Amino acid sequence: MHSRRNLLQMLLAGAAVTTIGATPSLAKTFEVTHTDAEWHKLLSPAEYNILRQQGTEAPFSSPLLNEHRKGTFLCRGCDLALFASSTKYDSGTGWPSFWQPLPHAIETSSDHSWIETRTEVHCRRCGGHLGHVFDDGPKPTGLRYCMDGLALTFKAA
């Protein structure tokens, strides 16, 4: 039988592993880099939480969910073009979803911060966390790039 102290130690150890597993993109060196203090000045607290700490926004809360104009979705951290509006679709999940990124825009890594392993999507240039990719999307790719709207900006064509 586990004591309360042992249970707390196990929970804290699990949380440490989860945190370590959630930040793989931050271990790499990227073209665009800033100190933690600079990121805090450049981003709102919610944007910082998503882009730099692998957080997420509440579903159906992003204004970009209903953005249907022609244009390009960019990384909020470094303005790299990530997705063409022509690849955006309504996945019904509550987050802006795309079936394909622009060439050389994103990188992926394994995210072990959840019950199951997911594929994290991050900006190739600054390493900012954008969301996750799943294999339940539409043709032609069959992929669903489920992105946090606060990690993106939109530039109309």
Q: Count of alpha carbons within 13 Å of 69, Cβ hemisphere only?
A: 10
**Annotated catalytic residue within 75, 123, 126, 146:** 146
Domain boundaries, the chain: 4-156
Average pLDDT over residues 55-84: 97
* CATH-assigned architecture of domain 4-156: Beta Complex (2.170)
> Does the annotation mark 146 as catalytic?
yes
Mean pLDDT, the chain, rounded, equals 85
Q: What are phi and psi of 59, to 5 degrees?
A: -60, 150
Look up residue 100 and give its amino acid: Q
Side by side, the strands of the sheet bearing 88-89 are 88-89, 97-98, 144-147, 129-134, 118-123, 106-111
Is residue 16 pLDDT above 70, yes or no? no
What pTM, to 2 d.p., does this model score?
A: 0.81
pLDDT interval class at 19 (50, 70, 90):
very low
pLDDT digits (tens, 9 = 90+) for 30-44: 999 999 999 999 999
pLDDT digits (tens, 9 = 90+) for 108-157: 988 777 788 889 999 999 999 999 999 999 999 999 999 999 999 999 99
